[in-house]
Structure 1
Amino acid sequence: MIIEKWLKYSANLLKKNKILVYQLESVILLSFVLKKSKSWIYGFYEKKINYIKLKILKKFLKRRIKGEPIAYILGFCEFWSLKIYVSPYVLIPRKDTEILVNIVLQKINNNTKKILELGTGSGAISIAVAFEYSFINITAVDIDNKIINLAKYNAQKLNIYNITFLKSNWFSNLKNQKFDIIISNPPYISIQKYFFFKKELKFEPYRSLISDNNGTADLNYIISQSSKYLNNYGWLILEHGYKQGYIIKKMFQIKNFKNINQYFDIQGYDRVICGQKILIKDKK
């Protein structure tokens, strides 16, 4: 089968199975299997695809039609213009989470020495920050060694050396360390919402998505504990669900965070919140 014929076939099949960007995904899959650029594919429509490659493509299409995210099929995705390897052990980094990275970068100044990321997953957030600021010491924690090993691998592949990856259940293994910024994209989906979106989410790790108390339990825990691990004037920066902005802001206020600000995602929903620990006021 030639490239042009396969692209038409695969695009039609993906479209029939309600894959939204069916044409682009057809090209992405073919590019990956043939180890050729997209521009090469467009220039060699009459080139034949050999039998072995066709078998691989057939398997990939079957997986995609079942709803498996293309990032898991390929084993990587792009985040912050960086190639991040993923596996079913970790969430696929979303474009919306780049907003969290942006806010972190805005809060970094000459006094910023140490950053903590809770629930690092693939390491994408810490790696993006470290890529921009190689002089800052970042500690990135997660609960599973398989996850930590994947995050380490991503950092090594991108020559990032200012991140310490540590197994920890949130703050459990941090031994009262203090940080200038704490960041997290914790689980924030309720069980009810998970079952509503189960078709889209079923391939991603359940425990990285679901949180009790209508999706706010982990957020609440992080907010309630963070002051113990923040230096004075330190920032807590969190991603949350698109309908959780009001209640999460209340949690920040109850724990006496100051300079609380909320930020919107691409679709205009509250997505990220930050607050500052201030124990003393500046003297003027």
Structure 2
Amino acid sequence: MTQTIDAVLKQATQHLAASGSESPSLDAAVLLCHALDKPRSYLFTWPDKVLSVAEQTQFNTLLDRRLAGHPIAHITGEREFWSLSLQVSPTTLIPRPDTERLVEVALELPELPQGSILDLGTGTGAIALALASEWPQRTIMGVDIRSEAQQLASNNAQRLGFNNVTIKQGSWFAPIEAGTKFALIVSNPPYIKENDPHLEQGDVRFEPKSALVAQDQGLADIAYISDQARQYFVEGGWLVFEHGYDQGLAVRQQLVMLGYQEVRTEQDYGGQDRVTLGRFVTK
């Protein structure tokens, strides 16, 4: 039996709320827009429009996946980040609003030298493409160890028309030619502890563990990148990390120990430690 847009939204919102969704009305609207291939404004303009059998069936299929816990981004195949519509897949992390804080911090860096930018563990390419949209004059390279992520990020760059972005496959610095230097290296690396209970909750259950979990209490990859990055900076280059809310002190200590200067931690939109940065100066 088909229903009106208004009735579909109300019923779906109730089901999603009962299933534990943190944003049931938004989830329902996003799924219905996807099923109808219409913008959000359409739902409010035509609340009494009756769905066709095909539209109702398509929406019910999408809703069932969400009720089973699948992330909205995986169901629709896209996620907005920094006002960019990115294609996503289960092979990469879903871009999150907190990561936009890393982009903000990078854009506000004082005395950023001239030169290229490197995004390690680029995933969908979210950080690299956000920076490319703000700095079209700079060359930006993204690196990811997974071939699926490399292809996805490359597709996003091409689809959005960013000609100043290149995506390479490999482990951290492995694909980078000897002698290449960067003014800025950014990364949202794996930083969750192996036994963290959050790994079994919410959207994280459906994301690749290799992009989430790191050894040594979640700090192993951050330590490795911090150490190796020193070979790849132009003079006065910056390193900027996203990390866990309780890792700010440990990351600062790591950077100071390795000789970085102007080390500090910035908070996310919820007031939690989220981004730590430092500058590598040799003179």
SS of 1:164's equivalent in the other structure is strand
Counterpart amino acid of residue 76 in structure 1: E
Q: Distance in 1 between matches of 2:41 and 2:177?
A: 52
In the alignment, which of 191, 194, 198 is matched to residue 194 of structure 2?
191
Q: Distance in 2 between matches of 1:155 and 1:173?
A: 19
Residue 61 (structure 1) aligns with = 63
RMSD between aligned alpha carbons? 1.3
Residue 242 (structure 1) aligns with = 245
Per-residue CA deviation, residues 255-281 of structure 1 (Å, 9 max, x unaligned), is 00001121000111110011011111x
Asked if the contact 1:67–1:199 (Cα under 8 Å) also holds between the matched residues in 2, the reply is no
Counterpart amino acid of residue 13 in structure 1: H
After TM superposition, the structure 1 = structure 2 runs for residues 47-126 of structure 1, keeping only pairs within 5 Å, are 47-107=49-109, 111-126=113-128
Q: Distance in 2 between matches of 1:136 and 1:187?
A: 26
Q: Distance in 1 between matches of 2:278 and 2:224?
A: 15
Q: Distance in 2 between matches of 1:79 and 1:112?
A: 26
Query: Is residue 125 of structure 2 the alignment partner of residue 135 of structure 1?
Result: no
In the alignment, which of 133, 143, 146 is matched to residue 144 of structure 1?
146
Q: Distance in 2 between matches of 1:35 and 1:20?
A: 24
Q: Distance in 1 between matches of 2:92 and 2:132?
A: 20
Structure 2 unpaired stretches of 5+: none
Distance 1:222 1:202, change over 3 A: same
TM-score, normalised by the number of residues in structure 1: 0.95
Residue 258 (structure 1) aligns with = 261
Per-residue CA deviation, residues 209-244 of structure 1 (Å, 9 max, x unaligned), is 000011000001001111011111111111111000
After TM superposition, the structure 1 = structure 2 runs for residues 158-173 of structure 1, keeping only pairs within 5 Å, are 158-173=160-175
Asked if the contact 1:120–1:140 (Cα under 8 Å) also holds between the matched residues in 2, the reply is yes
SS of 2:108's equivalent in the other structure is helix
Distance apart, 1:179 and its partner CA? 0.8
Counterpart amino acid of residue 275 in structure 1: G
Q: Distance in 1 between matches of 2:228 and 2:73?
A: 34
SS of 1:202's equivalent in the other structure is helix
Q: Which moved more, 1:174-183 or 1:74-83?
A: 174-183
Structure 1 unpaired stretches of 5+: none
Aligned length: 279
Q: Distance in 1 between matches of 2:94 and 2:110?
A: 26
After TM superposition, the structure 1 = structure 2 runs for residues 209-220 of structure 1, keeping only pairs within 5 Å, are 209-220=212-223
